[in-house]
Structure 1
């Protein structure tokens, strides 16, 4: 994982100094990107001019900050070839292109790009090079954002992977008659729109690869786009038509409706209930048994590729991998699979975050006070009934009554903490030889408030109340500062050194884990459910992946999403809908039914019945004050409240 930053502006050799706003923006972005890549930082600059003396020249600046996670040694960025080609790479190649575990994937990619540059260097048209370039990029399985300058054609390519798993923001001026006006910026991370002194930024859509030609003799540069298209639209995957774009590595959601004979019988009437019972599960069909086995294989391979070959920087027993661990179904399955592919003596950090929520604590205290009052009244009534009707009854009224009160042991025992404890016990039962560091990340209200504005800066350009509450949980969890308990219950301070964090994001979108999936099923049966699953897959790149990448990488950590491996997405897209989700069953049974069966196959019984709880409610970052009760998730955060 890296921080990449690119800028282009009219060259000062023509007597035009760099604009003040551009200079201050670049300085700020360089500092922010350095936080993503603490291992090494470097910069490369060049001036591009054209043949004719009157053509406008422009200055290009490439900056790379590296977090060393691949290869034996740190590979500094930007990658610059002898031919003058330049690559900024923020990504991971897990499949599609062979990368030995001793190699750095950015260097491997650069070598491939150099080979096609040499082959097509003498062609009169840029089309052949573009076709070859798009072919290489479409082979990559893994998250990425990149910037690539091809010197011979004076073209700049940039973009994000088809699922948008890595952040990339841009500043582009209005598009004039001849193209985009300069200056132009690309960056992994930005700042809030509240910063009126800096140039505004927006997310680059994860809808294809963009190409800017620098050949034009003006300060306006043409911008073309090669979109991701359904793979069915490309007849020959190895023969690209650049007017079409690149084929998606997965197809549409299987829209075949299940027939009655494919569905197991629903629960008998006497077993109908509104929530899960661990001892009552739907009958497994042969198709479901095969789907479970296949899911364990494909998801396991995705986890393996994401946890193997991470460079070791500490002692043998130190954790290289952490898991954003709510105790829910998704992260628990990832933990069990990660256990299969990491050395037995190595720890895995389970990062579980809980926030002090004054509003929730106040409501809980009021409930406990009311319960205590009722209990005292009941005991007084019982005493009166049990006493004799005598002159001594007056004395009995003065007898003091001691009532034991059961209160929460900690203000940080949020729902995800309690689920985490429960799931940890099951995890230790099925994997007793693994050292599981259950890291309790406890965030007092004052600390959450103090970091609120900084977190708002990191999630930009997304700035809604819901974005902020989710980002707060991920920012503090990925920071990894908390404590752990040993077998005797002794508490010790602990800071996670794991640079790779696994996340279960993508499971709910593909396996029907949200309540709205239930709503669509009830409204339009299987057809409505399939439509909503397809919509989730189509918009996943625009929702929260860029935000989460910016938040987690702020601590020099990298998020990896095994459920969003394109191999997993392809497998789940092809699978008939009833094998993924069956919403005829109650909550905790029917949603994500495939993953629940996977969990049972991995040895989890109790945890297989857990249902979806949004992170902002599980960690209690939502509506932390009375004034926040009226906040709506999609409204923009009040700047004054954030400060």
Structure 2
């Protein structure tokens, strides 16, 4: 993972204070993404034949060392003047030995085609073969062409300031950057997200100077008819409607499924068993490629891999699969975040006061209630250490409870693994103090829901918290893991949201299929750029095994009822394939966990009594952040 920053400006234009301030700000922000090395390279087009004169191209790269034996600096610059800024990971499609840097491997591939007459076609052919997340900027010197873009799922962030051509003939600066700032920053040039719908190119030649065109991602059947297009590595969601003979019988009448009886599961048909086996193989291969060969940069006992761990179904399966592909004695950090939420504490206190009032009316003593409030370890809170008491009250959020339940199952199926369950506890004052900065990192997104989700990820990925020692006492701990696995993509593809249930009830299987396709189509604009900007702010890299293009291709091809069967009640039918996978991996109780959005599981949603109704899609009211 890297921070990349690029600009085109008129080198002889008058002093441009907005540009200078913008560049300095962006250079500082991008350096956070790449603490291992930072470099800059500039090109002046004033002396080059066939190019518009007086242009300055500036390339800045900040590197986080995660591939190869040594730190490889960016930008990559060839003898012929080609320049590559690469923020990505090549997991398949191009061969990268574990001793190599994938950015350098890509640059070598691009150099092999640099003199071809059909350079653009050859370039796109290389890019469409890459399996992995990326955002990049590439300047091809001989054609005076600038290429830039994101992978087809938008797993890496890229923002732009497109500039304009005013009447005086002087172009305003053109900027590309991995990370940006809020639109409220009127002293800086405005930024927007580069769509993940293709690779863009901008000509610096005399004839087509400044013209931006798009080489779109299209389906295989359309690619042959579309010039300079790239084939999507997966097709649309399978639209086959299951027949009655293909569907397993529902539970016998009168048998109610709930979390008290997780052993009661839907029948596994022959088709479903094949889907389970294939899913374990394909998702397992995706995890393997994302956890192997990570260079060790810290102490020998430091975990190299962390998991954003709510204890839910998605992250638990990733943890079990990661265990299969990491050395046996190596630790894995499970990052579990909980927030002190005054509104939740106030509601809880009101409930307890009401319960106490009822007890008094019944003539029951207060001592019986105190005894009932003994903690889960069998001792009362009055005898617990202060930090443990704090953890059991303020930070005993839903995801903390689920996290510990799932941890016990993990330790049962993988007893030789050292699981660091990192309790990331965020006091209300600290969360409030960081809200403005976090809002800057998610820009150009700035809704209430985006901020709530981003707060959980920002503090979790920072990894500052506590773990339990051998005596069960909480001790300070900071995760050194640079690679963080996320379960993002599972709910979108496997029908984990309540809106999938709504569509199924309204329009049966057809409505469900439409909703799954919609989720896949919009995932780059809703989630991934934001999460990349947030997590990378700590010099960490998020990796998404459920969004490997091989996993997406497999899940898109499956018949819908093999992924999600919403004839069943909650905790059974949604993500039914992954529930069966969890059972086959050895998890019993966790296989019946319900979906809980991170902002509710960690309690970042509605943290204040502001007097304003906070709706998820509303823009954040900045007056409430002070």
TM surpasses 0.5? yes
- SS of 2:285's partner is helix
Q: Deviation of residue 275 (structure 1)?
A: 6.8
- SS of 1:306's partner is helix
**Is 1:310 matched with 2:294?**
yes
What is the TM-score of this pair, normalised by structure 2?
0.94
In the alignment, what sits opposite 1:532? 515
Partner of residue 496 from structure 2, selected from 513, 523, 536: 513
Q: Deviation of residue 233 (structure 1)?
A: 2.1
In the alignment, what sits opposite 2:473? 490
Q: Bigger shift: 325-334 or 173-182?
A: 173-182
What is the TM-score of this pair, normalised by structure 1?
0.92
Asked if the contact 1:252–1:534 (Cα under 8 Å) also holds between the matched residues in 2, the reply is: yes
In the alignment, what sits opposite 2:244? 260
In the alignment, what sits opposite 1:414? 397
Q: 4+ runs of 1 displaced by more than 4 Å?
A: 50-55, 175-181, 273-276
Q: Deviation of residue 401 (structure 1)?
A: 6.1
Q: Deviation of residue 54 (structure 1)?
A: 11
Partner of residue 29 from structure 1, selected from 26, 29, 32: 26
Over the aligned positions, Cα root-mean-square deviation in angstroms equals 1.9
Asked if the contact 1:277–1:609 (Cα under 8 Å) also holds between the matched residues in 2, the reply is: no
Q: Bigger shift: 300-309 or 535-544?
A: 535-544
Q: Deviation of residue 597 (structure 1)?
A: 0.1
Aligned pair count reads 608
**Is 1:294 matched with 2:278?**
yes
In the alignment, what sits opposite 1:551? 534
Q: Bigger shift: 529-538 or 621-630?
A: 621-630
Structure 1 residues 401 and 546: alpha-carbon distance in aligned structure 2, compared to 1, 3 A threshold: closer
Q: CA separation in 2, counterparts of 1:412 and 1:639?
A: 26
Q: CA separation in 1, counterparts of 2:548 and 2:600?
A: 27
In the alignment, what sits opposite 1:476? 459
Structure 2: where are the runs of 5+ without partners?
376-391
Q: CA separation in 2, counterparts of 1:21 and 1:413?
A: 46
In the alignment, what sits opposite 2:174? 184
**Is 1:224 matched with 2:207?**
no
Q: CA separation in 2, counterparts of 1:171 and 1:629?
A: 33
Aligned ranges 1:39-58 → 2 under 5 Å? 39-49=36-46, 55-58=52-55
Q: Deviation of residue 231 (structure 1)?
A: 1.9
Partner of residue 194 from structure 2, selected from 204, 216, 224: 204
Asked if the contact 2:50–2:205 (Cα under 8 Å) also holds between the matched residues in 1, the reply is: no
Q: CA separation in 2, counterparts of 1:524 and 1:482?
A: 46
Aligned ranges 1:81-100 → 2 under 5 Å? 81-100=78-97
Asked if the contact 2:223–2:229 (Cα under 8 Å) also holds between the matched residues in 1, the reply is: no
Q: CA separation in 1, counterparts of 2:351 and 2:313?
A: 30
Partner of residue 347 from structure 2, selected from 346, 358, 363: 363
Q: Could you give the per-residue CA deviations for residues 397-428 of structure 1, whole angstroms, max 9, x where no partner exists?
A: xxx86443355732100000000010000000
- SS of 2:254's partner is helix
In the alignment, what sits opposite 1:388? none
**Is 1:20 matched with 2:4?**
no
In the alignment, what sits opposite 2:127? 137
Structure 1 residues 177 and 541: alpha-carbon distance in aligned structure 2, compared to 1, 3 A threshold: farther
Q: Deviation of residue 191 (structure 1)?
A: 0.5
In the alignment, what sits opposite 1:463? 446
**Is 1:633 matched with 2:616?**
yes
In the alignment, what sits opposite 2:384? none
In the alignment, what sits opposite 2:579? 596
Aligned ranges 1:98-113 → 2 under 5 Å? 98-113=95-110
- SS of 2:363's partner is helix
Q: CA separation in 2, counterparts of 1:496 and 1:632?
A: 34
Structure 1 residues 457 and 590: alpha-carbon distance in aligned structure 2, compared to 1, 3 A threshold: same
Q: Deviation of residue 546 (structure 1)?
A: 0.2
Asked if the contact 2:305–2:333 (Cα under 8 Å) also holds between the matched residues in 1, the reply is: yes
Structure 1: where are the runs of 5+ without partners?
236-240, 381-399
Q: CA separation in 2, counterparts of 1:443 and 1:231?
A: 48
Q: CA separation in 2, counterparts of 1:34 and 1:530?
A: 42
**Is 1:154 matched with 2:151?**
no
Q: CA separation in 2, counterparts of 1:310 and 1:246?
A: 30
Q: CA separation in 2, counterparts of 1:213 and 1:40?
A: 30
